[in-house]
């Protein structure tokens, strides 16, 4: 003997060949086949269906309770982390088998970031899990446009609490490393990208190497720090019947001597000067 489904009804008899039909009460829907037939062996071709009311959970959220969704039932909605409810928190199953307007779960929004000065930003969506990427101006040395490097995280992600994963980075003008001091010389210029540093030697010295180098966009210099070498005077010649020391660079002194039996006529020593001349004439013996 077939029974009617809970919250429903059946029509028809239980004899061989008879068809029994099922319906649900107001506010319920049939879950299963609407009819079944009595077979020669006394069994039915289909099981008895059920009558239920249905309400699905929202995308990116859940609905509770999940086991009773019948006429008159109330269900409540919650959203997953990173999403917020748009609509009523709870709805009721109505007599016509429909639910009151169900809410939706929408992604939380983070505030629109401000691009860094001397830089920019990629990305125009600022909802949960969205990313924005930042960049700094690369500059153009030929056009005398400075270059900048990024300080901070280049990528930020909108988090579940509506905040960004970090602070907006800044763009700092690119610089080169500090140059070593130039012994016996002077360095002029700064370390900013595109700047030209010049090297000058003190009186009596001359530059051996690059006289100027440029700070490049990758933070390196276009050349190396030169050295200041002492200038040299012309090589003196020892006097006939005499001898001398062999120094002839700036500030160095050449000392003359005569062989036994000869006397020195003139300066005993001469010094190499900054203009590559000697401080006196060479003596004779």
Within a domain: 279: yes
Q: What angle do CA 127, 131, 133 make, to 5 degrees?
A: 135
Residue 265 sits in a domain whose CATH number is: 2.10.70.10
Within this chain, do residues 166 and 198 fall inside the same structural domain, yes or no? Answer: no
Within this chain, do residues 236 and 246 fall inside the same structural domain, yes or no? Answer: yes
Give mean pLDDT, residues 245-263.
92
Within a domain: 144: yes
Within a domain: 2: no
Supply the pLDDT for residue 62: 86
**Which has more confidence, 58 or 38?**
38
Q: Which residue range forms the structural domain that includes residue 161?
A: 119-173
Within a domain: 180: no
Express each pLDDT in 66-124 by its tens digit: 666 678 888 889 999 999 999 888 888 888 777 777 788 999 999 999 999 999 999 88
Percent of the chain with pLDDT over 90: 50
How many separate domains does the chain show?
Answer: 5
Within a domain: 253: yes
**Do you know the residue count of the chain?**
285
**Token pair listed for 178:** 């500090």
Within this chain, do residues 226 and 236 fall inside the same structural domain, yes or no? Answer: no
Supply the pLDDT for residue 28: 58
Q: Where residue 14 falls among pLDDT bands split at 50, 70, 90?
A: confident
Phi/psi class of residue 194: alpha, beta or left (left: φ > 0; alpha: ψ in -120 to 50)? left
Supply the pLDDT for residue 193: 84
The model carries a pTM of 0.53
Within this chain, do residues 28 and 38 fall inside the same structural domain, yes or no? Answer: yes
Beta strands in 29-167 (DSSP E): 29-31, 35-37, 50-52, 61-64, 74-79, 83-86, 90-92, 104-107, 119-122, 131-136, 148-151, 155-157
Within this chain, do residues 72 and 91 fall inside the same structural domain, yes or no? Answer: yes
Within a domain: 3: no
Residue with tokens 């070498």: 229
Within a domain: 114: no
Q: Where residue 167 falls among pLDDT bands split at 50, 70, 90?
A: very high
Nearest to 234 by CA among 285, 282, 284, 184: 282
Supply the pLDDT for residue 27: 46
Supply the pLDDT for residue 143: 64
Burial class (CB in 10 A: 0-12, 13-18, 19+), 77: buried
């Amino acid at each position: 003997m077939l029974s009617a489904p809970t919250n429903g009804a059946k029509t028809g008899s239980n004899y061989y060949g008879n068809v029994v039909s099922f319906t649900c009460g107001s506010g319920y829907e049939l879950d299963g086949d609407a009819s079944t037939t009595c077979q020669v062996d006394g069994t039915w071709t289909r099981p008895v269906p059920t009558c239920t009311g249905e309400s699905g959970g929202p995308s990116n959220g859940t609905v509770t309770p999940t086991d009773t969704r019948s006429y008159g039932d109330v269900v409540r909605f919650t959203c997953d982390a990173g999403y917020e409810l748009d609509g009523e928190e709870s709805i009721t199953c109505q007599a016509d088998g429909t639910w009151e307007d169900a809410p939706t779960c929408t992604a939380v929004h983070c505030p629109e970031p401000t691009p860094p000065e001397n830089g920019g930003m990629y990305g125009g969506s600022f909802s949960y899990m969205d990313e924005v990427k930042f960049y700094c101006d690369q500059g153009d040395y030929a056009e005398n446009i400075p270059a900048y490097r990024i300080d901070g995280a280049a990528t930020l992600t909108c988090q579940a609490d509506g905040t960004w994963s970090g602070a907006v980075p800044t763009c700092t003008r690119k610089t080169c490393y500090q140059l070593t001091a130039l012994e016996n010389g002077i360095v002029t210029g700064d370390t900013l990208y595109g700047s030209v540093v010049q090297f000058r030697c003190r009186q009596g010295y001359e530059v051996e190497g690059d006289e100027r180098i440029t700070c490049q966009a990758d933070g390196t210099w276009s050349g190396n720090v030169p050295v200041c070498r002492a200038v040299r005077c012309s090589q003196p010649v020892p006097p006939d019947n005499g001898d001398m020391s062999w120094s002839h660079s700036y500030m160095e002194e050449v000392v003359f001597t005569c062989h036994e039996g000869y006397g020195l006529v003139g300066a005993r020593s001469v010094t190499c000067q900054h203009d590559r001349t000697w401080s006196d004439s060479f003596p004779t013996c």
